[in-house]
Structure 1
Amino acid sequence: MRIIVAGWLRFAGDEKTCAEIIVGGADHIAAAREEAGCTAYNWAVDPLEPGQMHVYEEWDSEEALLQHFADPPYADMRSHLERYELTGFHVQIYTAAGIEPVYAEDGWPRKEIFGVTLAGA
């Protein structure tokens, strides 16, 4: 089952602090992307909340994510982040039972998702 990790981390400072964290963490991001079962891994500066960074990950399975947590690159990434003052965070793990594209073949958002159609559409 596909696993998604998503949320935010807030650090003392501003968007420059988050940009510094992300640029300095590029090797950690790249290492995670190389791990077995990782299909997406990204950190991004929030454009509206100074000092806030978003994280997004996709893993092929629970086992792949658990292995990521046990591997040295994860410990290295945590060490990198711990050099900055964390003032809050909210990161969750989600399961995805199905995957469908957002856009139809005509390039417009789909009118039906997982068999559900918007009333009146």
Structure 2
Amino acid sequence: MERVTLWGWIDFAGKDAAAIVRGAEQFIVPTYDEPGCIHYVWTGDPLKPERMWVFEEWESVGALADHLSGPLYTAMSGYLADSGMTGAEVDKYRVVAKQPVYDGSGLPKAEFT
């Protein structure tokens, strides 16, 4: 089964994105309990205060589909819009291979084996 990741950014011109993330705790924390959720990470960019970064990992396309049609996604979308979202680019990726970056000797490797 292929895992799915989502990652990207959301901007809030003139606003503190980290504060907006903290305000979203009520939506973020319970999402971890949704079936198939592996990671659901939202964070403010330390160098661009108006930008937040999104990283999600789901066990399957079906798990992501259930999340996207569920009440937590709907509530989070409304919260972000109400918070003054001015731009976004979040993409999804099918994960077909996954390996550690560092090999057994501690050296980083770009290639897959």
TM-score computed with the length of structure 2 as normaliser: 0.91
Letter in 2 for 1:114: F
2:53 aligned partner? 54
| Aligned counterparts, 1:90-101, within 5 A | 90-101=89-100
| Aligned counterparts, 1:28-39, within 5 A | 28-39=27-38
| Aligned counterparts, 1:1-121, within 5 A | 1-14=2-15, 17-110=16-109, 113-115=111-113
- Contact 1:4 1:93 (C-alpha < 8 Å) held by counterparts: yes
- Contact 2:5 2:95 (C-alpha < 8 Å) held by counterparts: yes
Alpha-carbon distance in structure 1 between the residues aligned to 2:25 and 2:106: 32
- Structure 1 residue ranges (4+ consecutive) displaced by more than 6 angstroms after TM superposition: none
- CA-to-aligned-CA distance 1:11-69 (integer Å, 9 cap, x gap): 0224xx21211111112111111111111111111122230100000001100000001
What is the aligned-residue identity percentage? 38
- CA-to-aligned-CA distance 1:86-109 (integer Å, 9 cap, x gap): 111111011110110111122231
- Contact 1:12 1:84 (C-alpha < 8 Å) held by counterparts: no
Structure 1: runs of 5+ lacking an equivalent: 116-121
Measured on the aligned residues, the alpha-carbon RMSD in Å equals 1.3
Decide which structure has the larger Cα Rg and report it. Answer: 1
Q: How many residues align?
A: 112
TM-score computed with the length of structure 1 as normaliser: 0.85
Alpha-carbon distance in structure 1 between the residues aligned to 2:44 and 2:99: 27
